[in-house]
């Protein structure tokens, strides 16, 4: 809708006002409004301005001056009742746009008014145009900054280095309206800058792929850490076969170090870049440096993670990692195969839901203090795995499983062989022993002969002990002592200890017995339990010097029987303690002539395990040794009634 032009009249004389309105203005299409009095005039000018204002000298000179000053774009025309050239000039000098007089004919008057109105309209158009131009430039800057912020966020969030680099270059070209952009990163090894990403709006392609940093503009930017703007017009050769008209290079700085250069170019266009463009580019370079650093760290981390994952997945041992709620965090191929599982159905699930192997589940249910022991599990296909459980802070638990089927098999074959051989040796040995005893009866022996016979007997005795130890071990390991009864361990202990009285007296050793009345009964094999106690006590006597002290303690704790045999003897070197339960192992700190087979503790351990118990040793060299056995207690109500 075109707004009609309105002319305001501040004319005192009605005739003049009428003439102007009816004969000149209205026929020319102007709307006319008459204003009476200064108050009405001021009020009118507070709203939108008329196209022109015509006043006569009824308006106070002071008001006239302030109108001209306050409304520079409002054309104010003065109506002079009497045409007088000095007066006309004076009015123009006062700043009126035009001066009408009673002498003017209608055409002249209209022309003057039209000119004034036209002038105002020109002003207004120019003014609006300028306003728009400024607003547009401001809007563009705001848009640029918003875009920069958006791109910054996007690239900071990206962890793929190549992606980050090409996003940065593309953003640089778009933000600065450049023809071309590229990003070069410093290769520390070669000392060259290497092109990592490029983007061009037109057909051209960046040819620089590798630039030495010395004696080049890029190198200078990198060294000085200062941006460079070249520009506008003349073609400049910055590299062989690389001519540009304008460019900006900004350094990419990480911490204190330059890591590369971001550049934009105009090759065809003569348009130069401004400091504003440089500012945008520098901001982008800051974002880029952070994003590159993040991406570097991430890539390095990811590579390490992958490497570790590949190793863990491909080792032949089973590896299982659980979180603190025993949900599966990692399960490797060997484990998946052993339990017949698929990875996607395992991850994140509680182990009990996924793995049905009860050996493993029971082991995991033990208290963490027992995890250290690990244990064996039997798989459905008959294989036996040795499991080690390692708590990992802030993660949970790592379970490593090693296939020991072949070792178990070897052990079984060896035990069978030893049992068979021992059995076959027993009869000839008994015969030898029998005949050595008969020798003296069939004729007198001299002293040396008696001495030799004694030695033969001692040796045969040694071999017999060894053989019966081996046979016992074979029986226990083969599970031939499965029959168990409810046993009150207290009388059993006392009975066993009594049989050592002579040995204790011989070595003048003191035995301290502390058997708590609360000592609970256990399910067990009385012969084997006695053998277990006897082996430990005889060791304590054997490995404690004359006059030393040793003891036995028994009590109840957490529904378990705790049994300790301690001494103040030679002790066991720390490095050898893990091996003393192995067959035939004897510690290195014993004098050469100490009698023994190295089978006693192996038998003890087998008995303990056959009774679902645990045994461990604590020992300080030269100070003494304590063996602790924990056996599950039987219910008190199950105690056998004393014979009637
Ligand atoms: P051995 O017949 O040699 O006593 P064992 O199996 O009973 O065989 O013990 C294995 C080894 O453990 C011994 O040779 C000895 O080195 C060490 N040992 C066992 N008990 C004690 C103890 N009470 N004090 C010191 N060392 C011991």
Residue-range domains of the chain with CATH: 5-127 (3.40.50.2300), 158-299 (3.30.450.40), 315-403 (3.30.450.20), 407-477 (1.10.287), 485-632 (3.30.565.10)
Residue with tokens 């277990």: 532
Torsion angle of alpha carbons 40, 43, 44, 47, nearest 10°?
-170
pLDDT surpassing 80 at residue 154: no
pLDDT, tens digit, for every residue of 58-113?
Answer: 989 899 899 888 888 888 999 988 888 888 888 888 888 888 888 888 888 888 88
Q: How far is the CA of 115 from the centre of ligand 1 (A)?
A: 126
Residue 643 pLDDT grade (very low, low, confident, very high; cuts 50, 70, 90): very low
Asked whether 51 and 6 are in contact (CB, 8 A), the reply is: yes
User: What burial letters (b/e) apply to 502-528, b meaning 16+ CB within 10 Å?
Assistant: eeeeebebebeeebeeebbbbbbbeeb
Distance CA 628, CA 614 (A): 8
600 lines ligand 1 (CB under 6 A): yes
Ligand 1 nearest atom to the CA of residue 596, by list position? 2
Q: How far is the CA of 626 from the centre of ligand 1 (A)?
A: 12
pLDDT for 222: 87
pLDDT surpassing 50 at residue 450: yes
598 lines ligand 1 (CB under 6 A): yes
3-state SS string for 188-251: CCCCEEEEEEEEECCCCCCCCCEEECCCCHHHHHHHHCCCEEECCCCCEEEECCEEECEEEEEE
81 lines ligand 1 (CB under 6 A): no
Q: How far is the CA of 539 from the centre of ligand 1 (A)?
A: 6
DSSP for 560-620 reads EEEEEEEE-S----GGGGGGTTSTT---TTS-TT----S-HHHHHHHHHHHTT-EEEEEEE
Ligand 1 nearest atom to the CA of residue 581, by list position? 6
587 lines ligand 1 (CB under 6 A): yes
Residue bearing the bigger pLDDT, 416 or 448:
448
Residue 238 pLDDT grade (very low, low, confident, very high; cuts 50, 70, 90): low
Q: How far is the CA of 533 from the centre of ligand 1 (A)?
A: 14
Q: Whose CA is nearest to atom 12 of ligand 1?
A: 580
Q: Whose CA is nearest to atom 11 of ligand 1?
A: 586
Count of CB atoms situated within 10 Å of the CB of 542 = 17
534 lines ligand 1 (CB under 6 A): no
Residue bearing the bigger pLDDT, 370 or 568:
568
Q: How far is the CA of 604 from the centre of ligand 1 (A)?
A: 11
SS3 content of the chain, % helix, strand, coil (to 5): 50, 25, 30
pLDDT, tens digit, for every residue of 42-72?
Answer: 888 887 889 899 999 898 989 989 988 888 8
604 lines ligand 1 (CB under 6 A): no
Q: How far is the CA of 562 from the centre of ligand 1 (A)?
A: 21
Q: How far is the CA of 162 from the centre of ligand 1 (A)?
A: 66
Q: Where are the alpha helices (DSSP H) in 340-404?
A: 351-354, 358-365, 368-371
Asked whether 552 and 537 are in contact (CB, 8 A), the reply is: yes
Question: Which residues, at least 6 apart from 52, have a Cβ–Cβ distance to it below 8 Å?
Answer: 5, 7, 8, 74, 75, 76, 77, 97, 113, 116, 117, 120
Asked whether 395 and 323 are in contact (CB, 8 A), the reply is: yes
Q: How far is the CA of 590 from the centre of ligand 1 (A)?
A: 9
pLDDT for 1: 36
When mean pLDDT is compared across 248-257, 415-424, 526-535, the lowest value belongs to 415-424
Q: How far is the CA of 557 from the centre of ligand 1 (A)?
A: 27
279 lines ligand 1 (CB under 6 A): no
Across 290-313, average pLDDT? 85
Q: How far is the CA of 617 from the centre of ligand 1 (A)?
A: 11
572 lines ligand 1 (CB under 6 A): yes
pLDDT for 208: 57
Residue from 461, 542, 551, 586 to probe ligand 1 pocket by mutation (most atoms less than 8 Å from CB): 586
Ligand 1 nearest atom to the CA of residue 571, by list position? 25
Q: How far is the CA of 602 from the centre of ligand 1 (A)?
A: 10
When mean pLDDT is compared across 38-52, 239-253, 276-290, the lowest value belongs to 239-253
Residue from 543, 550, 592 to probe ligand 1 pocket by mutation (most atoms less than 8 Å from CB): 543
Asked whether 221 and 249 are in contact (CB, 8 A), the reply is: yes
Q: How far is the CA of 125 from the centre of ligand 1 (A)?
A: 111
Count of CB atoms situated within 10 Å of the CB of 342 = 8
Distance CA 209, CA 196 (A): 8
Ligand 1 nearest atom to the CA of residue 627, by list position? 23
408 lines ligand 1 (CB under 6 A): no
Question: Which residues, at least 6 apart from 90, have a Cβ–Cβ distance to it below 8 Å?
Answer: none
DSSP 8-state assignment for residue 420: H
pLDDT, tens digit, for every residue of 8-24?
Answer: 999 999 999 999 999 99
Q: Which strand (E) or helix (H) includes residue 254? A: strand 246-254
pLDDT surpassing 90 at residue 327: yes
Ligand 1 nearest atom to the CA of residue 594, by list position? 3
pLDDT for 204: 53
583 lines ligand 1 (CB under 6 A): no
Residue bearing the bigger pLDDT, 264 or 212:
264
Q: How far is the CA of 623 from the centre of ligand 1 (A)?
A: 15
pLDDT surpassing 60 at residue 275: yes
Residue from 539, 548, 605, 623 to probe ligand 1 pocket by mutation (most atoms less than 8 Å from CB): 539
Asked whether 547 and 505 are in contact (CB, 8 A), the reply is: no
Residue from 598, 622, 628 to probe ligand 1 pocket by mutation (most atoms less than 8 Å from CB): 598
621 lines ligand 1 (CB under 6 A): no
Asked whether 247 and 218 are in contact (CB, 8 A), the reply is: no
* Angle, alpha carbons 321-322-324 (nearest 5°): 145
pLDDT for 574: 92
pLDDT, tens digit, for every residue of 329-356?
Answer: 999 999 999 999 988 889 999 999 999 8
The candidate with the shortest Cα–Cα distance to 158, out of 140, 145, 171, 146, is: 171
Structure tokens at 434: 């029998």
Distance CA 15, CA 36 (A): 15
596 lines ligand 1 (CB under 6 A): yes
The candidate with the shortest Cα–Cα distance to 629, out of 551, 542, 561, 567, is: 561
DSSP for 457-521 reads HHHHHHHHHHHHHHHHHHHHHTTTT---EEE-HHHHHHHHHHTTHHHHHHTT-EEEEEE-TTPPP
Strand order through the sheet with 180-187: 210-212, 192-200, 180-187, 257-266, 246-254, 228-230
Average pLDDT, the chain: 86
Q: How far is the CA of 580 from the centre of ligand 1 (A)?
A: 7
């Amino acid at each position: 809708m075109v707004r009609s032009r309105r002319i305001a009249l501040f004319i005192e004389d009605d005739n003049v006002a009428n003439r102007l309105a009816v004969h000149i203005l209205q026929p020319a299409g102007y709307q006319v409004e008459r204003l009476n009095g200064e108050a009405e005039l001021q009020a009118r000018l507070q709203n939108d301005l008329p196209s022109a204002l015509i006043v006569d000298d009824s308006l106070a000179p002071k008001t006239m001056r302030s109108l001209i000053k306050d409304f520079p774009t409002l054309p104010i025309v003065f109506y002079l009742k009497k045409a007088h050239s000095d007066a006309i000039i004076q009015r123009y000098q006062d700043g009126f746009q035009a001066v009408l007089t009673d002498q003017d004919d209608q055409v002249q008057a209209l022309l003057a008014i039209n000119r004034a109105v036209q002038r105002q309209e020109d002003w207004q158009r120019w003014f609006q145009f300028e306003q728009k131009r400024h607003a547009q430039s401001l809007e563009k800057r705001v848009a640029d900054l918003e875009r920069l912020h958006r791109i910054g966020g996007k690239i900071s969030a990206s962890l793929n280095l190549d992606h980050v680099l090409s996003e940065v270059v593309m953003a640089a070209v778009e933000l600065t309206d450049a023809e071309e952009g590229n990003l070069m990163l410093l290769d520390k090894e070669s000392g060259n800058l290497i092109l990592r990403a490029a983007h061009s709006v037109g057909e051209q392609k960046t040819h620089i792929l590798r630039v030495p940093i010395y004696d080049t503009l890029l190198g200078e930017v990198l060294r000085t850490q200062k941006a460079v703007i070249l520009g506008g017009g003349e073609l400049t050769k910055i590299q062989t076969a690389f001519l540009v008209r304008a460019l900006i290079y900004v350094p990419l700085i990480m911490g204190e170090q330059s890591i590369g250069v971001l550049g934009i170019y105009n090759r065809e266009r003569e348009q130069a870049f401004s400091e504003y463009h440089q500012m945008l580019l520098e901001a982008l370079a800051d974002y880029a440096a952070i994003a590159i650093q993040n991406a570097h760290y991430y890539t390095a981390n990811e590579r390490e993670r992958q490497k570790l994952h590949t190793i863990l997945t491909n080792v032949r041992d089973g590896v299982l990692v659980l979180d603190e709620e025993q949900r599966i965090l990692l399960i490797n191929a060997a484990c998946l195969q052993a339990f017949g599982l698929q990875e996607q159905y395992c991850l994140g699930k509680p182990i009990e839901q996924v793995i049905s192997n009860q050996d493993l589940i029971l082991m995991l249910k033990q208290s963490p203090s027992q995890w250290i022991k690990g244990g064996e599990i039997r798989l459905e296909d008959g294989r036996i795995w040795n499991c080690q459980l390692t708590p990992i802070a802030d993660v949970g638990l790592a379970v490593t499983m090693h296939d020991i089927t072949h070792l178990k098999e070897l052990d079984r074959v060896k035990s069978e062989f030893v049992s068979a051989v021992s059995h076959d040796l027993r009869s000839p040995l008994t015969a030898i022993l029998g005949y050595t005893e008969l020798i003296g009866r069939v004729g007198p022996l001299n002293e040396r002969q008696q001495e030799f016979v004694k030695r033969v007997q001692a040796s045969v005795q040694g071999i017999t002990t060894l053989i019966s130890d081996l046979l016992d071990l074979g029986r226990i390991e083969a599970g031939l002592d499965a029959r168990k009864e409810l046993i009150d361990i207290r009388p059993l202990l006392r009975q066993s200890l009594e049989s050592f009285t002579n040995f204790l007296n011989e070595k003048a050793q003191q035995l301290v017995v502390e058997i708590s009345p609360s000592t609970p009964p256990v399910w067990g094999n009385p012969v084997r339990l006695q053998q277990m106690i006897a082996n430990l006590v005889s060791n304590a006597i054997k490995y404690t010097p004359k006059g030393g002290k040793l003891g036995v303690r028994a009590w109840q704790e957490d529904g378990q029987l705790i049994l300790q045999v301690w001494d103040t003897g030679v002790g066991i070197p720390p490095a050898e303690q893990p091996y003393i339960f192995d067959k035939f192992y004897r510690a290195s700190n014993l004098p050469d002539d100490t009698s023994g087979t190295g089978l006693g503790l192996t038998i003890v351990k087998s008995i303990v395990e056959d009774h679902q118990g645990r045994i461990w040793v604590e020992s300080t060299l030269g100070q003494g040794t304590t063996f602790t056995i924990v056996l599950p207690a039987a219910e008190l109500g199950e105690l056998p009634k004393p014979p009637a």
